[in-house]
Structure 1
Amino acid sequence: METIPVNNLPVVGIGASAGGLEAFEQFFRNVPADTGMAFVLVSHLDPNHASLLTEILQRSTALPIVEANDRIAVAPNHVYVIPPNRDMTILQGKLRLNIPDESHAQRLPIDTFLRSLAADKGDNAIGIVLSGTGTDGTLGLKAILDGGGVTFVQDPISAKYDGMPSNAIHAGCARFVLPVDEIAKALGSGTRSTVIFQGTPPTPAAISGMNRILMQLRAASGHDFTLYKKSTINRRIEHRMSQHNIDDTDVYARYLKENPHEVHMLFKELLINVTGFFRDGEAFEILKQDILPELFSDKPADYVFRAWVAGCASGEEAYSIAILLYEWLEETHQIFNIQIFATDLDEDAIAFARAGIYPFTVAQDVTPERLHRFFVKEDAGYRINKEVRKKVMFALHNVISDPPFTKIDLLSCRNLMIYLEPELQQRLIPAFHYALRPGGVLFLSPAESIGTHTGLFSPLNRKWKFYRAIRTSTFSRALMTDPLWISDNSSKAPEASIRKSGDGNFAELTRRALLQFYAPASVVTDAKGNILFVFGETGKYLRPAPGQPTLNVIEMAREGLSLDLRAALHAAGQGTPTLGRELSVKTNGGFTSVSLSVRILPGLSSNEGVLLLSFQDVTALSPPRKSLRRKRAATSGQGRIEELERELDYTRENLQATIEEQQASNEELQSVNEELQSSNEELGTSKEELQSVNEELITVNAELQAKIEQLIGVQNDMKNLFDNINVGSIFLDEHLVIRRFTRDAAKIYRLVVTDVGRPLSDIKSAIEDDDLLTEARTVLDTLIPHEREVHITTGGWYLTRIQPYRTLDNVIEGVVLSFTDISARRDAEMAMQDARELAENIINAVREPLIVLEDNMKIVSVSRAFYNKFQATPGETLGRPIYELGNGQWNIASLRTLLENILQQDKTFDDYVVEHDFPGIGYRKMLLNARLITPRVGNKPLILLAIEDVT
């Protein structure tokens, strides 16, 4: 296999939590050993427990599996496992380990690694999310998709816990949803070569097919993707083709024509909806510390600061800028109106952004202070609070073909132009200049720039791509030469051109005109009077209240309106509208008659408490109340009027006191509510910590269960081993207490299962003269093994061995007594001894001398008649060659030849005559007879030599 350069090495990041052990094992059982990829496993592990994951998984694959070390370089066809209580990232192909700040709760180790993998490997990154609870891994998969990599998610149906896979799928981060074994086969079968990487240059037929696909997409959606980056477009089209098992672009083009729904799915696929809160944190710090002070300098108090986030995707960038503006205004104690426009092509992304609900994983990107200040925790995740949401206006808008917003102070377009061809990038820059006020700031991503339009912008920060718009007339000429921006409604404000003109154009113009000329000034509030929307000019009836800024309609009401307005809101809360109540409102130093109406908005449930307040001047004014009072005074008496006025003043004072008491009670209730909310957040945090601990315990339990199964297998093997070798063993601790024994040990000691834990001295043995315990203590003290043969009362013999009990760490923790039945051997030895004694008695009973020789002619045995005949002793005879007996009288050449022939040719001889003068007995004439004896046991032959004296 070819060596893959380190920079091009595909790295597979696999994340799992609860139920992940089974998924890991199934995955590696199906992964080939030569994929050429490196695998990195990230799981939720107990920080205080040693992981068995490496040892368990090694049984499932031939790939080498190691626990990761800091700065270890990943290699192809290797598996690396995250250690307990560590966060792991990858940088320049090397794994980096860090000790986490918190052991539990907000830790998201899978997201942490996958995001670093996306940044380090780009389109060579592969992300896989398997079984688990929670949302960890979703943001990591989004980052991998954004970087051009590929993501796999386990099919929730096959997952033991479907929380993590389901969350990743619902977030749109799953490129492939497959069972675990299918994911492994997809990686090993070459799927990645056609899906992840762009291979050889496309053929003209493939280019033609792609163009047909883009033309159909433009005709159906109205959006032209021809000037988007070809690599990105091709990769995403290939993904849709793979979903339908289509390999040919022409075939897919026909499929699009026949299936309009697929056109919509392809359009969704091509939209880049990957973003995050405070992406590139240092850039946002520069924006807050250096850029915003200059943008707000020399601005009047009533200035409206306008920002535009182009290509906002799911809204994180827009909300990040809104939060930053709020923080800066609070820190500098300034008050400005803020308008933030956030636009995108994707209608679903805009709807998601408007809702402002994000998964719990955003806690990884947002500081705890910002999370507490600007987010509200709900069951589905964290929601941006209303204070920030109402400042951001989301709308559908095509930055390429629709007119831009105007009079913008800050324009953020980050990581959008990287997906566009250079030609289209150069057309967008003049449009952005047109949208900005002179001195406004353009905020791009580090991978983007203004290109050749250096005359339109001056750089403020080259690293993080902040540019100031320069006042110049060249931008208008550059803009007019670009046909993308020329349209019949190019002079309209983008707010009016968000929705395309259609058949209802005249109806829409008529409706707007009627609203402008005939509809009264109105506000929409909630049940407490907090303003949600303002229509028309309400300055004659409402004005900013002194002190802390507020949007409560009662506090903003002008003199003469607040009491009746409060009563009308209370009545509306009870379901009773107020229609046409005439009031005298003080404006410009005098009183004006105003008609007040409070209605519950139709189409909304009454329990939502959304009210419509309308103000309208009364054309036929009745005489002022003071004049009426004077006339009544003239007719009924001044005293009576003054009395009534005093009663009215007293009533108003009592009412005001009551209102103040209610306000105080409301503040107390609000304070209690905040405390309860804080307690709820603490309980939520505790719940997350418990969930994290539960996931870790599930993982540890799965590892221990696998270890138990392995130990059970080993125990079964050991049991069968002991049962088959018929060796009795007793394991004693250092106090000679029984720890364990085998079945055959019960033949020596009368042991039962309940004897485990008892001293061996309490058990009666069947050994005669039993002193094994004394010998066991000696072995325990000296560590010198001991063995001897013992006889038991039932008649058997056993070889007893006593050895020290050593652990894997070479620690002595007792002794082991083993008993091997040698009864059969002893019986054989006794039988052999008896046979030997019988043979010797027979030999001794024969009158003729007999000699038994070995193959080297050494004497093994002689008869008693030989000793008597030749006056020899056993010491002088046994073990010596026959040729050396006496004075060498048996060293006869012919005899030597005969004896050697017997060994070599398996012959015998009879009546061989020997005449010799023997010391002590004189001259003798003898006849020798020889026979070859071949024993059954052993391979050394023997020679039996018989001597007959014939003198």
Structure 2
Amino acid sequence: MEPKASTAQPGAFPIVGLGASAGGLEAFEAFFRHVPAESGMAFVLVQHLDPSHASILTEILQRTTAMPVVEVTDQMVVEPNRVYVIPPNREMALFHGTLLLRLPEQVRGQRMPIDAFLRSLAEDQGEKAIGILLSGTGTDGTLGLRALLGNGGISLVQEPSTAQYDGMPQSAIHAGFATHVLPPERMSKVLLASRQHRVKGGAAPPALATVGSMNQIMMTLRSVTGHDFSGYKKSTIGRRIERRMAQHNIEDAEVYARFLKNQPAEAHALFRELLINVTSFFRDPEAFATLKNEVLPQILADKPDGYILRVWVAGCATGEEAYSIAMVLREVMEEARHPFSVQLYSTDLDDDAIATARAGLYPPNITQDVTPERLRRFFAKEDAGYRVKKDIREMVVFAIQNVIKDPPFTKMDLVSCRNLMIYLEADLQKRLIPAFHYALKPGGVLLLSPSESIGGHTDLFSPLSRKWKFYRATPTTASVRTAMAGSLSWATDPAASPQADVMIKAKDVNIAELTRRALVQSFAPASVVTDLRGDILYVHGDTGKYLRPPPGLATLNVVDMAHEGLQMELRAALNLAVRQRAPTLGRDVLFSVADEPRRVSLGVRPLADLEPGQEILLVSFQDLPVQSPQKSRRRKSATSAEPSRVEELERDLAYTRENLQATIEEQQSSNEELKSTNEELQSTNEELQSTNEELETSKEELQSVNEELVTVNAELQAKIEELAGMQNDMKNLLDNINIGTIFLDDRFKIRRFTREAAKVYRVVATDIGRPLSDIKSDLDGDDLLARAQTVIETLIPHEQEVRTIAGEWYLTRIQPYRTLDNVIDGVVMTFAGISDRKAAETSERQGFDIAEAIIDAIGKPMLVLDEGLAVVSASCSFYQEFRLVPAETRGRPIYALGNRQWDIPALRTLLETILPQEQSFDGLEVEHVFAGLGHRKMRLSGRRIFCKSSGRPLILLTVEDIAET
């Protein structure tokens, strides 16, 4: 009977995703036996099912629970108090509370349906999502729980000792993505308690005591770990604190604050809980396609040979993002056939995540995110999963860094910070964007996640791709001023010395220099140097007559600082210089200061670029005399007043039109580019970036490099120890096998040999590195080097028996020497002693020849058969009597001789029935008509014999003609 539809609103109840593989049925039954029918939750089951057979999982589970159990159909809406089961040969996802089905894209054996569903569950339900991982083999579900925890959900994993197969539970536990590890029958209590806790927590806003408790928790966390999380979003922190409280069965935040203070281990556990380690390879594939096809070609355009591309991945978690960018860079280099050096720095706050990234070993289910081609090119398959290959690993330097507190890297071409700022408060986000601008070169690119943006810092960046959040850094000093105003902890004291690249260095004083200074001081007009936005970079002379600090927020913009009446003319001149690269010289401007008229000659000149992308302007002011009222009246009386007045009004009208046009263009440009320069706090200029800051940043980079070198040294030391052990094992292996072996390179020089090889070639320890052709061999005339040359040319192994001068026999095998990279780099020659076998064969051959001679001497037709009744030998009289030849007789079954003329029923009875029961038979008469021989009456005698040399049983059959009477 179809159950009645629920009236609950979508999203108002938790959705629990359960994943299992082998042994999952037993775990499902144990779980649902303890789940009440009115739990208020929906359960979605994902199991590895046989795609070619219908599933009866719904029927089996319906016997263990009172909730309706249904097999999912496409577009089915999830409702509470129901159980949904994935159908065979389908992948399932959750979108806005609706289950969607599709055919699997991966081949069987590579599918990860649990990971795929749990990821969609995390994205769709966020903090209401719950994931449960039960019995199964492999690692499916681990990455799904990782995404679920990153979105604030809860994960439960079956206790491995209770699982029929513990592969999946162990994988999730070792990865650190299990908030609870329980037997299936105890999981329902945790789910119900968590639901009640969430209902209570969402019923009312937090009380003052709760806010105070959270501050106490943050203070304890900072004192224990040294990291301040006060800038993180309170909702994110609250969810993770609630998760820790639920795990310890603590309902009061004040109690948990006291518990945290007395338990340093819990503080570290909470610290790990707060770290956001949700990432994957090539997350948002279209963003990486844009990076590869559009952004990187722009960054690398016109770069000289030997250029070093610098990349910084901030908040890299376990390294997938950094390795993805490294792979894209490698692909760009290979496709463009233009290799360049790469310095890729990848940093994160979590030392455990950095350790995982440095190891470069990832679970097998990364096949869901990495294409087969990239998997083949950039990863090596191991038992535990996939390891990043050496060439990609060496491109990335991993280091521990607090992006909020520690100085940023500098002179970067690309900075990637994805899914970090969404967890930070708005104030902290506003402080980080200028820091990233400071880290980039002019024209460098910032990459954010689709859910992040640069906010109001449109003066620092211009968009390259609004959809995938690529931004190009605009050359300006605003980022430094914003960083200083925002009190970033890595910013130095404003009293520090100016930055080296803008500092005026002392030089040796001489007459020419004194003259130049005197001329500039006496005759050059008061001037300022600005960037294209009008921000002042340098001041010469006394500009106080024309510029003054405006009221309100401090600014160094020359237009904002200009006196009233001068601003409009100055803005028009700046726009003309920026847009048309045209200078404005000698513009006569009349303005007033404190009701005192003043007249100035204004000039704005574009200067040559100091560096590409760093254009500057020279704005000069030169006083002009102001006409007195008396002179003005005398001049008016001397000339006609009306034409003079018309000329003056036309000139003013032309100036007004120009100023109005400039104002309109500036307003349109501001609206299009969303610039808010006048609203920003610009309190300092480029000179406040001191040499000490540069040295501090360099120090941080060197520390990161040193840490990486320490890690590399440790890895190399471990590799050396491993190679030493392997060398010892190889030495003992070669010394204890009785097979002579010689390793030769592609020029047939000796690499290595075993002591048994000295019995064939007269080699000693000092012969390593010598050509084998220089060594005398004890072989009797065989040229093995010619055979070795053929093996290298054809790659076909060669095998032959050789004999030494002393009479010893060896089975020689010559095979190609293959490296781990499947490169042929020589041959391997082995010599296995077979003298005993040759002696036995000789003895057997001699005995066989003697037996044949005896049979032929008897003069009777005789046959020797093996166990399968095939002819081993026959006497000459047999061939003559029955007109047969040895080539058509030996090795063939007796019944097939002479076109099956010997397929005689009586003979079959003798050989297959009588002889196996008795050791012999004598005088049995058999009659048969032979083609070409006529009717024959024969007396047959048979006896079972045993060959001592070969150890096999034989049958001796004697045929004697009986004369017809």
- Partner of residue 497, structure 1: 700
Aligned partner of 1:74 among 68, 75, 78: 78
In the alignment, which of 195, 208, 227 is matched to residue 231 of structure 2? 227
Matching residue of 1:391 = 395
Choose the corresponding residue for 1:280, options 284, 287, 307. 284
Give 3-state SS (helix, strand or coil) of 1:8's partner.
Answer: coil
Question: Could you tell me whether the CA contact under 8 Å between 2:152 and 2:240 is conserved in 1?
Answer: no
Query: Does structure 1 residue 177 correspond to structure 2 residue 181?
Result: yes
Structure 2 residue aligned with 1:605:
721
Verify the 8 A CA contact 1:150 1:196 in the aligned structure 2: no
Match of 1:460 in 2: 464
Instruction: Map Cα deviations across residues 885-905 of structure 1 (whole Å, 9 max, x no partner).
Output: xxxxxxxxxxxxxxxxxxxxx
Matched ranges for 1:11-90 at <5 A: 11-90=15-94
**CA 1:414–1:384 in 2, change beyond 3 Å: closer, same or farther?**
same
1:500 shift after superposition: 9.0
| 1:607-630 deviations in Å (ceiling 9; x for gaps) | 3699xxxxxxxxxxxxxxxxxxxx
Deviations 1:307-359 (A, max 9, x none): 00000000000000000100111111111101100000111111110010001
- Matched residue SS, 2:161: coil
Query: Could you tell me which amino acid in structure 2 is paired with residue 395 of structure 1?
Result: A
Q: Spell out, residue by residue over 1:405-425, the C-alpha distance to the aligned partner (whole angstroms, 9 max, x if none).
A: 001111000000011001100
Instruction: State the shift of 1:194 in Å.
Output: 3.2
Equivalent-residue separation in structure 2 for 1:499 and 1:436 (angstroms): 18
Structure 2 counterpart of 1:168: 172
Whole-angstrom distance in 1 between the partners of 2:725 and 2:792: 21
For residues 285 and 34 of structure 1, the distance between their equivalents in structure 2, rounded to whole angstroms, comes to 48
Q: Is the 8 A contact 2:412 2:439 kept in 1?
A: yes
Q: Following TM superposition, by how much is the alpha carbon of 1:99 offset from its aligned partner in structure 2, in angstroms?
A: 1.7
Structure 1 residues 605, 170: CA separation in 2 closer, same or farther (over 3 Å shift)? Answer: closer
- Whether 2:376 is the aligned partner of 1:372: answer yes
Tell me which of 107, 112, 116 is aligned to 1:112: 116
Deviations 1:895-935 (A, max 9, x none): xxxxxxxxxxxxxxxxxxxxxxxxxxxxxxxxxxxxxxxxx
User: Residues of 2 paired with 1:49 and 1:156: CA distance?
Assistant: 29
* Max Rg structure: 1
Q: CA, structure 1 residues 162+216, in 2 after alignment: closer, same or farther (shift >3 Å)?
A: same
Q: CA deviation at 1:492?
A: 3.2
What are the within-5 Å matches in structure 2 for residues 708-723 of structure 1? none
Provide the secondary structure at the position in 1 that maps to 2:156: strand
Task: Quickly say closer, same or farther: Cα 1:602–1:29, change in 2 above 3 A.
Answer: closer
Contact 1:115/1:144 (8 A) holds in 2:
yes
CA RMSD of aligned residues (A): 3.6
Distance in 2, matches of 1:448 and 1:38, equals 32
- Aligned-residue sequence identity (percent) comes to 57
Deviation at 1:494, TM superposition (A): 4.2
Q: CA deviation at 1:487?
A: 4.6
Q: Which moved more, 1:1-10 or 1:385-394?
A: 1-10
Provide the C-alpha distance between the structure 1 equivalents of 2:10 and 2:36, rounded to a whole number of angstroms. Answer: 21
Equivalent residues of 1:186, 1:192 under 8 A apart:
no
Query: Pick from 288, 295, 300: which aligns with 1:291?
Result: 295
Q: 2:340 aligns with which of 336, 340, 345?
A: 336
Aligned-partner residue type, residue 486 of structure 1:
A
User: Cα 1:666–1:303, aligned 2, differ >3 Å: closer, same or farther?
Assistant: farther
Work out the CA distance in 1 between the residues paired with 2:152 and 2:717: 48
Contact 1:195 1:235 survives alignment (8 Å): no
Of the candidates 419, 422, 430, which is equivalent to residue 418 of structure 1?
422
1:498 positional shift? 6.8
Deviation string for 1:30-78 (max 9, x for gaps)? Answer: 1111222221111011111111101111111111111111111111211
Indicate if the aligned counterparts of 1:213 and 1:256 stay in contact, CA closer than 8 A: yes
For the 8 Å contact 2:16–2:43, the answer to whether it is kept is yes
Deviation (angstroms), 1:2: 9.4
Indicate which of 476, 483, 491 corresponds to 1:486: 491
Q: Is the 8 A contact 1:357 1:384 kept in 2?
A: yes
How has the CA–CA distance of structure 1 residues 236 and 188 changed in structure 2, closer, same or farther, with 3 Å as cutoff? closer
Summarize the Cα distance change of 1:197–1:11 in structure 2 as closer, same or farther, 3 Å threshold. farther
For residues 549-948 of structure 1, the aligned pairs below 5 Å read 605=721, 607=723, 673-675=820-822
Contact kept in structure 2, 1:35 and 1:187, CA below 8 Å: no
Matched, 1:271 2:418: no
Matches within 5 A, 1:140-179: 140-179=144-183
| Aligned-partner Cα distance in 1 for 2:361–2:350 | 17
Correspondence list, 1:244-323, <5 A: 244-323=248-327
Change (3 A) 1:166 1:603: closer
Task: Give the unaligned 5+ runs of structure 1.
Answer: 502-507, 513-523, 526-531, 534-599, 611-652, 678-951
Question: Match of 1:6, SS?
Answer: coil
**Does the 8 Å CA contact 1:123/1:196 hold for their aligned counterparts?**
no
Secondary structure of residue in 1 paired with 2:476: coil
One-letter amino acid of the structure 1 residue matched with residue 332 of structure 2: W
Aligned letter for 2:407?
A: P
C-alpha distance in 2 between matches for 1:129 and 1:196: 27
SS in structure 2 of the partner of residue 60 of structure 1: coil
Aligned partners of 1:339, 1:609: CA distance in 2, in Å? 34
Higher relative contact order (CA 8 A, sep 6+): 1
Q: Which of the numbers 420, 442, 445 marks the counterpart of 1:441?
A: 445
Letter in 2 for 1:43: Q
- Counterpart-to-counterpart distance in 2, 1:601 and 1:12: 46
**Quick check: 1:32–1:188 contact (8 Å CA) kept in 2?**
no
d(CA) in 2 for partners of 1:459, 1:93: 34
Please give the alpha-carbon distance, in whole angstroms, between the structure 2 residues aligned to 1:248 and 1:9. 24
Corresponding letter in the other structure for 2:189: K
Task: Say if 2:363 is the partner of 1:216.
Answer: no
Deviation readout 1:580-634 (Å, 9 max, x if unpaired): xxxxxxxxxxxxxxxxxxxx98996383699xxxxxxxxxxxxxxxxxxxxxxxx
Q: Distance in 1 between matches of 2:39 and 2:81?
A: 6
Q: Which amino acid aligns with 2:14?
A: P
| Number of aligned residue pairs | 543
Contact 1:309–1:318 (Cα < 8 Å) also in 2? yes
What is the identity, as a one-letter code, of the residue corresponding to 1:335?
P
Amino acid at match of 2:700: S
Q: 2:356 is aligned with what amino acid? A: F
1:133 paired with 2:280, answer no
Q: What is the identity, as a one-letter code, of the residue corresponding to 2:433?
A: I
Ranges in structure 2 where 5+ consecutive residues have no aligned partner: 494-691, 727-768, 775-787, 796-815, 825-965
Letter in 2 for 1:428: L
Shift of 1:289: 0.8
**Counterpart in the other structure of 2:96:** 92
2:543 equivalent in structure 1: none
8 Å CA contact 1:306–1:410 kept in 2: the answer is yes
Distance 1:606 1:666 in 2: 34
After TM superposition, give the deviation of residue 192 of structure 1 in Å.
Answer: 5.5
The amino acid across from 2:699 in the alignment is A
Aligned AA (1:478): T
Compared CA separation, residues 176 and 96, structure 1 to 2 (3 A): same
Which residue pairs with 1:736 in the alignment? none
SS in 1 for 2:63: helix
- Cα 1:201–1:163 shift into 2, 3 Å: same
What one-letter code is carried by the residue in structure 2 that aligns with 1:207? V
Of 454, 468, 473, which aligns to 1:469? 473
